Amino acid sequence: MDFWKSISNEVKSTQLEFNNQSKTKQLIIGALFASIAAIFQAAGGLLPGVGYFISPFATAPVLFCSLLSLPLGIASYVLTNLLLLILQPSELIVFPFTTGLLGLGIGVGFFFFKKRVNIVLTGAILLTLGILSLLYVFHFPVLGPVSSDSFSTVTTVLIFLFAFIYNWIWVNLGLFIFKRLKRMITS
């Protein structure tokens, strides 16, 4: 397991290199990734069945923008929400609290921490809070008939365990793809 492994300085050096790019290029990259995230998230409503397997990938564009620059990640998160308001308003309640918040949370973790376990915990806590907000504050059945409207400690622990494993997968997948994309973005 690589939980206790530190991430390389590759992300920090890429962030410094990206910040030296022109603001126009940074905004274009942020808008492109926000558009991709909105299309992925809207796939759940536009393509019933197969779209539900595509929509979790809406995390990746927000994650990559957050890895490049935290303000750009926040901007792409907000822009994706605005695009979803136009494309698929029904997905607007899910994205800000789940897939979008996950990408932003992992990006925040990369910004503040070097150990993978801290990055995974940051994303897991934010994703858990987002899902719990949907379940217990907005009474939106994000888990379907699996959980009820009343607070349950067992459900909360299970959601956190799922979020932790899901974040661990996304951190490793994000680093893998980030290493492949960084040449294209910073050149």
Instruction: From first to last of the 187 residues of the chain, give the pLDDT tens digit.
Output: 566 667 767 777 778 888 888 999 999 999 999 999 999 999 988 888 888 889 889 999 999 999 888 999 999 999 999 999 999 898 888 899 999 999 999 999 988 888 888 999 999 999 999 999 998 888 888 777 766 677 778 889 999 999 999 999 999 888 888 887 777 766 6
DSSP 39-73: HHHHHHHHSTTTHHHHGGGGHHHHHHHHHH-HHHH
Residues in the chain: 187
pLDDT at 19 (0 to 100): 84
Give buried/exposed letters for 21-38 (b at 16+ CB in 10 A, else e).
beeeebeebbbebbbbbb
CATH architecture of 10-186: Orthogonal Bundle (1.10)
DSSP code, position 6: B
CA dist 102 → 20, 22, 49, 63, 126 (Å): 27, 27, 23, 8, 7
Domain ranges of the chain: 10-186
Q: Would you state the pLDDT for residue 177?
A: 82
